[in-house]
Structure 1
Amino acid sequence: MKMRRMAIGAAANSSLLLSSKPNPITIPFSFSLTKTSSFLFSLLTPPRRSLSASSLTSHRHNLSHFGDGDSVAISSECSKMLLKGMTYPELEKWVQSHGYRPGQAMMLWKRMYGNNIWAHHIDELEGLNKDFKKMLNENAEFKALALKEIHTASDGTRKILFTLDDGLVIETVVIPCDRGRTTVCVSSQVGCAMNCQFCYTGRQMGLRRHLTTAEIVEQAVFARRLLTNEVGSITNVVFMGMGEPLHNIDNVIKAADIMVDEQGLQFSPRKVTISTSGLVPQIKRFLQESRCALAVSLNATSDEVRNWIMPINRKYKLDLLLQTLREELCLKNNYKVLFEYVMLEGINDSDGDAERLIELVKGIPCKINLISFNPHSGSLFRPTKEERMIEFRNTLARAGVIVFLRLSRGDDQMAACGQLGKPGTVQAPLLRVPQQFQMAVGSSS
């Protein structure tokens, strides 16, 4: 089916938040694509470096230097403050520092996030004091993203492309569902450092940089502003777009806090889900600091398989990951973690996998989403057949596990799970296929 594509002139957007460089994550392996390549996909690193990607980044984003998130939301033009990079207490303090009452801050907050206004420009701030608007025009910036394109898939899923201030592009997906629920899937990084073997983003892009708080929040604001009239109220947010959210934990937690503010976007904390490949220290911090939901991308029932398809497992083994969840969830009431399980034919979909999965999640309040693999160029894997997925689900359900099948959405526009991103000039390496799976993937290596 032919795609429907809407092109929008990318208006000049000068707002760039500071400190968007990645924090270090050390994983015990290192790969060089070629002996002469300037790109080193390295997760076996000194503490200050997690990825050297000189051929993927400009001099403005040298990944050998790491920040701790955008502690100050300032644009690159005349030191203007990026409004969507601040929580409400920060906004209130900033407004007062310019000599205005806290009530003005609340009025501004509601016009940015509430009342179906979702203001992107000073002209949309009806009802605000004239002098206050003049101060905002001189000292603040509303937009951190510039709209580039919207692609519409045959099932109604929309993939939105945004251009950042530095020219990089990110993707956001809006997924209309039945029962009055529509989900926006936001990105947290430009690319990803995790190199999950089934994921287009990590394999084809590597990591360019973190997204700032404002760049994350504005994806949800833009989705409501652009599409509410077409798809209805956007009720859910999932951090399952480009990137590993907990690798960018400072900005992600802050963005989620802004999204669930009761005077602003008003998303329910239970309907804002942050997904992770399994960064154990960051999982602990997230569960202790955030009210939002957690999803863990599991995808294997043994360390051998998970080491291959999800290299983060070489740093944080399955036992450590699952025991951490058991311990942390004991401290939370009425909280279930969501396990995501991408089903790969001949790799992780056997009867033995189903039985091991039942044992692995014992003692963890959880739900499991079985996800059909979405093929893409350069991938070794094939999706598990639907009949086999149903059998796998039934095995889990008979054991009392809460389990769902998640259908692919937007795959004809490369908008489905694991399909986001644009290939870089150099891709992350394919890892060695374990011998017992070489036939399943058609590998001779």
Structure 2
Amino acid sequence: MTASTLIDSTAEAVAPAPSRSLAGATRKELAAALLEIGAPEREIRMRSAQLWHWIYHQGVSSFDDMLNISKVFRAKLAERFTLTRPQIVSEQLSSDGTRKWLIRLAPSSARDRAAEVECVYIPDTDRGTLCVSSQVGCTLTCSFCHTGTQQFVRNLTAQEIIAQLIIARERLGDFPGRAPPQDGIVPSGGSRFVSNIVFMGMGEPLYNFDNVSDAVAVFSDGDGLSLSKRRITVSTAGVVPRLPDLGAKTGAMLAISLHAVRDDLRDTLVPLNKKYPIAELLQACRTYPGASNARRITFEYVMLKGINDSPAEARELVRLLKGIPAKINLIPFNPWPGTAYECSDEATIEAFSDIVFNAGYASPVRTPRGRDILAACGQLKSETEKLRARALLSIDP
């Protein structure tokens, strides 16, 4: 072992812990941070409100920008904390305006390697939807989903989930005083560029329930990011025991990744079905807190050629959902490298949709977005590791 290695090892052993970022912190975490730097308890509520406003409403990235806080107190904050966001490794812009960010997270411990997740921004004329991730990789192995082929690493913290929205609003000029990008499409009409959140990125949200529910609380806080709970949707493959908690604690809209009307087929497409079969899942939907005609449950149904797209299956879907305030979101399958599935023909999808619609259910066919950058539904999976492996193989030994 060389001297330089010893010096490096010693330096690592005695180096102070890196400053913690407060970007993405909950109200409880902000209060704890203020106590750490000696703020009097009688000031905690007021100081927390100040920080909350600057971090989440104004979107500042430096304590120096918090103009109604004294310089002395700002200096105390800066000695211990930062407002650093996770690193954007890459940003891809689709021809249809969809943006995909590969985000590198700070290591969860000194021994861990930095993990990476992807999130996607989808602009429309009347809204902007941000698809956020809740896990690094995924705990599930849905056979049609590209993300499901990626190994699960860990859950995201609430702070890491919230940071995805902060990053998106920052990049889109969606905080006060910031200009939107010139190279992309954003909604017109004066509304916030990010108006909707969907937990449909990497991971199964209900296997990270506490952090997801904390993130929803921050997203929907009227003094900060201020998104309506009716514009926040949590999509699950069907973790049945968590559904009552999700409705009662978060008030978020619910989406179910259904994709089949028979247990034998769903066992293959969505293996979680072996644990929570269709009948059990749908019964939980019937009693989901807050479900009504004004707050319908969305059932996602990916259209797979010759697998789940027959008229008989459309009629069975209608029968299964009887009594549930529901809409059915039909998703043309988005191919990815190595998949064995194909997308149903357009005429087949239209015929399926007509059967569902004529039975009284809304059955929109989702327009694929971001296919050219692998940002469409079911395609989220970082190609970074593959590219790095290729780069290493190209190096002469």
TM-score (norm: length of structure 1): 0.74
1:376 aligns with 2:323: no
Deviation at 1:288, TM superposition (A): 1.8
1:407 aligns with 2:367: yes
Letter in 2 for 1:111: W
Alignment match, 2:129: 183
Deviation at 1:387, TM superposition (A): 1.7
Alignment match, 2:116: 169
1:95 aligns with 2:34: yes
What's the CA shift string for 1:373-429, capped at 9, x where partnerless? 100011110011122111111110100012211010001000111111136989xxx
Aligned residues of 1:306 and 1:313 also touching (Cα < 8 A): yes
Deviation at 1:84, TM superposition (A): 3.7
Alignment match, 2:272: 312
Letter in 2 for 1:87: T
Q: In 1, Cα distance between the equivalents of 2:250 and 2:67?
A: 33
Partner SS for 1:110 = helix
1:247 aligns with 2:207: yes
Q: 1:143 to 1:281 in 2, by over 3 A?
A: farther
Q: In 1, Cα distance between the equivalents of 2:35 and 2:331?
A: 48
Aligned residues: 347
Aligned residues of 2:291 and 2:297 also touching (Cα < 8 A): no
Q: Which runs of 5+ in 1 are unaligned?
A: 1-75, 427-445
Q: In 2, Cα distance between the equivalents of 1:144 and 1:211?
A: 14
Deviation at 1:236, TM superposition (A): 0.5
Deviation at 1:330, TM superposition (A): 6.9
1:122 aligns with 2:63: yes
TM-score (norm: length of structure 2): 0.83
Partner SS for 1:222 = helix
What's the CA shift string for 1:190-247, capped at 9, x where partnerless? 11021000110111x1201111111100100110111131424210011111111111
1:219 aligns with 2:160: no
Partner SS for 2:364 = strand
Partner SS for 2:224 = coil
Letter in 2 for 1:345: K
Alignment match, 2:82: 141
Aligned residues of 2:244 and 2:289 also touching (Cα < 8 A): no
Q: In 1, Cα distance between the equivalents of 2:276 and 2:384?
A: 28
Residue 271 of structure 1, aligned match among 221, 231, 246: 231
Q: Which runs of 5+ in 2 are unaligned?
A: 1-14, 108-113, 175-179, 188-192, 387-397
Partner SS for 1:341 = strand
Q: In 1, Cα distance between the equivalents of 2:251 and 2:139?
A: 26
Q: In 2, Cα distance between the equivalents of 1:285 and 1:234?
A: 26
Q: In 2, Cα distance between the equivalents of 1:279 and 1:367?
A: 20
1:131 aligns with 2:72: yes
1:86 aligns with 2:25: yes
Alignment match, 2:395: none
Q: In 2, Cα distance between the equivalents of 1:190 and 1:331?
A: 30
Alignment match, 1:441: none
RMSD in angstroms over aligned alpha carbons? 2.1
More helix by share: 2
Aligned residues of 1:299 and 1:341 also touching (Cα < 8 A): yes
Q: 1:90 to 1:163 in 2, by over 3 A?
A: closer
Residue 48 of structure 2, aligned match among 98, 105, 118: 105
Pairing of 1:2-401 with structure 2 (within 5 A):
78=17, 80-92=19-31, 94-95=33-34, 98-100=38-40, 101=43, 102-114=45-57, 117-166=58-107, 167-179=114-126, 181-203=127-149, 205-227=150-172, 228=174, 229-230=180-181, 231-232=186-187, 233-329=193-289, 334-401=294-361
Q: In 1, Cα distance between the equivalents of 2:274 and 2:95?
A: 39
Q: Percent identity?
A: 38
Letter in 2 for 1:168: A
Q: In 2, Cα distance between the equivalents of 1:330 and 1:151?
A: 37
Deviation at 1:302, TM superposition (A): 0.4
Q: In 2, Cα distance between the equivalents of 1:280 and 1:84?
A: 32
Q: In 2, Cα distance between the equivalents of 1:395 and 1:258?
A: 40
Aligned residues of 1:92 and 1:106 also touching (Cα < 8 A): no
Q: Which has the higher contact order (CA 8 A, sep 6+)?
A: 1
Deviation at 1:130, TM superposition (A): 1.1
